[in-house]
Amino acid sequence: MEALAVRLSGLDPYVDGAIRIVGFYDTLMRRRVDLPALARASAGLAECLAGIRLHGAGRVIRVSPYGTEATTEPSPASSEVPVTLDDEEIGTVWLERPGPPGPLDEVLLDRLAIAVAAAVERYGPARTTMADPALVELAISADSDEAARARALRLLGFAPGVALTVVAVRTQLPPAAGLPLLPLDRLGVLLCPDRPVKAAPLGEVGVILATAPDPARLPDGVRAGLGEPGSPERSWRQARTALRFTTAREPALHYGELGALALLAEVPAAALRENADVTAVARLAAGPEDLETLDTYCATGSLRRAAELLHLHHSSVARRLEQIARVLEFDPTDPAGLTRARLALAARRLLGD
């Protein structure tokens, strides 16, 4: 094999350089170097700044061609390659070369990506985002004993005693116009970019375990319910409840924000359907404009603010609310009626109608 490589390198300078790069990284991998050493070696070989980013760990390493940590502002990558482990993208490697990429930059980054994946797998739990669904289910199940739950969390890479927040993500929601849904692992990285995070699908709901999720980072077209940090079993139950209350206007909800509304989730579905106010709101669904008007007014509690959101004159909204009051058989603009309308709308969301 080596004799063939030598013969090929004599025929093509590019092949010669590529073979030398492959040999260079093979040596580094045999020596079991860590990520900083890989970054330093790559920057020196490329003679430009090299970077390594791990999505789940939120770790970024940037090294100058002189082998020191880069202190300059990041420049646009001249070339970059994803790092994959077990068919999951766990990070990125790149070069910041002034001007166009070099002829061998792609080869260098391909080998660096392979070396980074090997190093991540070798040194501690892999910082991948996707996890074994069985482990995740064991961690959040009410039927798990504490010893089994602690072992599952340890295998998932979470430190003992860490306060985890469980996020329930609706994965079957149609994407927003022009915005395809991201895979569950990428949603996990977006929610918690700088801390360990694990995700797994359970039926039609995605489960994300994180220490400090930020729902404001979720893309359009995704709905998420967040439990309170603490016990994964309790947080998962709360996250599922919060997810049921989400709407297009409020696509992400913390369980704590629900307050007394969370009690509605304990009411049997049959009792909700039989309620006169819920039935009346269901009748409004035949006219989507009326339902949207009522929902917007209930969310704002203000005629003028609802008119702004609906892009209507406030008098038009007032006329709609008068018509809606006749269907509901109560006035949603007085304090008692507003409370009744809000509860009926929340109950309808719980029913999934």
pLDDT tens by residue, 129-186: 777 888 899 999 999 888 888 888 887 878 778 889 999 998 654 554 454 556 787 8
Q: Identify whether residues 116 and 146 lie together within a single domain.
A: no
Compute the C-alpha angle 184/187/188, nearest 5°: 90
The answer to whether position 128 is within a domain reads no
Q: What is the pLDDT of residues 17-29, one digit of tens each?
A: 888 999 999 999 9
Range of the domain at 260: 133-265
Domain termination site, one of 239, 265, 291: 265
Average pLDDT, the chain: 85
The answer to whether position 38 is within a domain reads yes
The answer to whether position 141 is within a domain reads yes
Please indicate whether residue 1 or residue 208 has the higher confidence score (pLDDT). Answer: 208
pLDDT of residue 225: 95
pTM: 0.61
pLDDT of residue 57: 59
Rounded Cα gap, residues 272 and 282, in angstroms? 11
Q: Identify whether residues 162 and 238 lie together within a single domain.
A: yes
Q: What is the pLDDT of residues 28-82, one digit of tens each?
A: 999 988 899 999 999 999 999 999 998 755 678 999 999 999 988 888 999 999 9
CATH number of the domain where residue 87 is located? 3.30.450
Does residue 227 have a pLDDT over 90? yes
pLDDT of residue 353: 60
Q: Identify whether residues 109 and 233 lie together within a single domain.
A: no
The answer to whether position 330 is within a domain reads yes
**3-state SS, residue 253:** strand
| Percent residues over pLDDT 70 in the chain | 90
Q: Identify whether residues 101 and 52 lie together within a single domain.
A: yes
Q: Which CA distances in Å does 165 have to 10, 16, 154, 218, 225? A: 58, 52, 16, 16, 10
The answer to whether position 283 is within a domain reads yes
Owner of token pair 């947080």: 235
Task: Please name the residue ranges forming H helices in the chain.
Answer: 2-11, 13-30, 35-46, 105-122, 133-140, 146-155, 184-191, 232-244, 255-258, 269-274, 276-284, 288-300, 303-310, 314-328, 335-351
Q: Identify whether residues 71 and 106 lie together within a single domain.
A: yes
C-alpha dihedral, 126 to 129 to 135 to 137, nearest 10°: 170
Q: Identify whether residues 212 and 286 lie together within a single domain.
A: no
Q: Identify whether residues 118 and 82 lie together within a single domain.
A: yes
Q: Identify whether residues 189 and 295 lie together within a single domain.
A: no
pLDDT of residue 83: 92
Owner of token pair 């404001």: 216
CATH number of the domain where residue 344 is located? 1.10.10.2840
pLDDT of residue 140: 95
Q: Identify whether residues 115 and 209 lie together within a single domain.
A: no
The answer to whether position 7 is within a domain reads yes
Strand order in the sheet with 49-54: 59-63, 49-54, 88-96, 79-85
Tokens of 231: 């016990």
Q: Identify whether residues 89 and 165 lie together within a single domain.
A: no
Ramachandran region of residue 161, left (φ > 0), alpha (ψ -120 to 50) or beta?
A: left
Q: How many domains does the chain contain in total?
A: 3
Q: Identify whether residues 341 and 300 lie together within a single domain.
A: yes
Q: What is the DSSP letter of 76?
A: P
Rounded Cα gap, residues 91 and 129, in angstroms? 10
Q: Identify whether residues 259 and 295 lie together within a single domain.
A: no
Domain termination site, one of 103, 122, 141: 122
Rounded Cα gap, residues 350 and 353, in angstroms? 8
Rounded Cα gap, residues 184 and 182, in angstroms? 6
Instruction: Give the H or E element holding residue 331.
Output: none
The answer to whether position 19 is within a domain reads yes
**3-state SS, residue 14:** helix
Per-residue three-class SS string for 200-229: EEECCEEEEEECCCCHHHCCCCCEEEECCC
Domain termination site, one of 122, 145, 174: 122
pLDDT of residue 179: 47
The answer to whether position 127 is within a domain reads no
pLDDT of residue 124: 47
pLDDT of residue 240: 94
